[in-house]
Structure 1
Amino acid sequence: MRVAMVGEQSPPVTALTSALTALGNEVTGYGHDEVDGGLVDRLREGFRAEPPDVVHAHSWLSGMAAALAIGDRPIAKVLTVPTTVSFDAEVQRLERLVCRRVDRVLAAGGAQVRRLAALGVPRNQITVVPHGVDHDRFTPYGPSARKGKRFRLLAAGDLAVYHRFDLIVSVLPAIADTEFVVAGGPLRDNPEADRLIRCARHYGVEDRVHLLGPVDDMPALYRSADIVVCTPARSTFGTIALEAMASGVPVIASAVGGLVDTVVHEVTGLLVPPLRPADLLRAVRHMLAESALREAFGAAGRDRACARYSWERVAADTARAYARAAYGVAPAFGDALR
């Protein structure tokens, strides 16, 4: 199948493109930094020269640009819903408009399906296709980052308020012999970084809170962790949790958004109510006290990441969605792999 991939050339889009190509699809990328009339013209010219069977857009604006470029031509339109949620009325109006102009909408999990239903998208127009993880890169096997004798709680992501890393800092005084490491930035000229440092001083744990900034070798850092903790206050897919699971590390996560789909409670980790420090503290204490439990959660997480979230599996699911959008039917699993 000939596929036109429209969107920023992020690592997930690049990984999906490679996996789809490995399955025998011909994928042409249309990367962009901005969505404007120039992009629409470039897409229109590209589609005229080499008409694709399917155009796959990866943002609301990319979806609108693709729909305008396609016009009335018989080219299937597929949209992957972004993980960010906007409550702005104008943005939601754009989202509804784009959904009406595409043939199939791909959602990463149940939270996005419910949001699309609230926007008025028919359930039979939605296909659940999660994000993938490179389980050959994120693996339990390999070198680990250096650590001392303390337990290590690890969090990762941009230093932004919505990640609520301060919740972990707030429970640290009640957990002995444990450090909290945060991978992500920026550290300079970032009010959230300054706030976390002040928070650590307030609770008297500044010697056990370490802000590393951006880290190149994340697989080694994951392997050094006893628990990866994800405590966002709002909906997110849960890429960090997925990378941790692939690395064989147990996860404690807020029960919000895609984390509810990614982390299986009491199988690959623990889910806790969001913004509830007391529940978070109980979960961390429980998991740190049981090394066998951490090992079992880590092994189950690795199995789940490889079975459900491999890029080969994600590409096969995406190929079936393409066929449904283009032809109204989806191929069997084996056909999608060829």
Structure 2
Amino acid sequence: MTETPAALLGPAQIRALAERLGVRPTKTLGQNFVHDGGTVRKIVRAAGVQAGERVVEIGPGLGSLTLGLLETGASVVAVEIDPVLAAELPATVAAHQPDAVDRFELVLQDAMTVTELPGPPPVALVANLPYNVSVPVLLTFLERFDSLERVLVMVQAEVADRLAAPPGSRTYGVPSVKAAWYCSAHRAATVGRTVFWPVPNVDSALVSMTRREPPTTRASRVEVFAVVDAAFAQRRKTLRSALAAVTGDAVRTEEAIRAAGVDPTARGERLDVADFARVTEQLIEHGLSVAGPRERQR
């Protein structure tokens, strides 16, 4: 009697699959594979994935989370950079969830270079993001795919804290502000190290994000983000000093900050995304460039 494959991958299956493919998880690609079915379903539940929805997954790896997403009845488009892993994913789906083959599509590409996805626009991003590129990839997808209504990502715990941090907190910084431009975010759960193979040296956490409208401003997102970068370039500097270093005009910079209703002696860590949008708008209205030297040369 032939045993029917389980709907999800377990520890033995993960290791056997990796061995057969000659895959050795690398730090370069940030590869840590989830091998616990309970954790996979926990992620899917936290993401609120429903049957019929279109979900994009980044870095599916051996397919653990992919199978969990397909199990809900959703359709999944997975973006994978590793050609060996990508080549095997359709076969993994066919073996473990044959009824879901028509709901799965694969894009073999670096997620940072993806500008379009096949099929209907995704409404959710659910992923175990590679630790080394988690924030750039997340912000890139939020920028390029405005169909995304919500996000549930597993990242390094420290990164999760930064993404969800409120103004004034110790971990508040550039990722916090830029993520807040697109979404409200909160840390949804902690994930133990033992559910991964290989076991990472850091803790992981889930971050849940819900799309919202960006601040109302005449400044562009690029201009606001340039001001955010400048404000946090040297965290201990006041806003006045940090931004004057970019604009080259301390007097008008202070005038612009005051016109935005912000204390020039405050530090960037005290401002929320709406504050940064107002400051940026006023800098522009005061005739000041908010682009750094590299941007001005372009």
- The two structures have a TM-score, normalised by structure 1, of 0.36
Higher relative contact order (CA closer than 8 Å, sequence separation 6+): 1
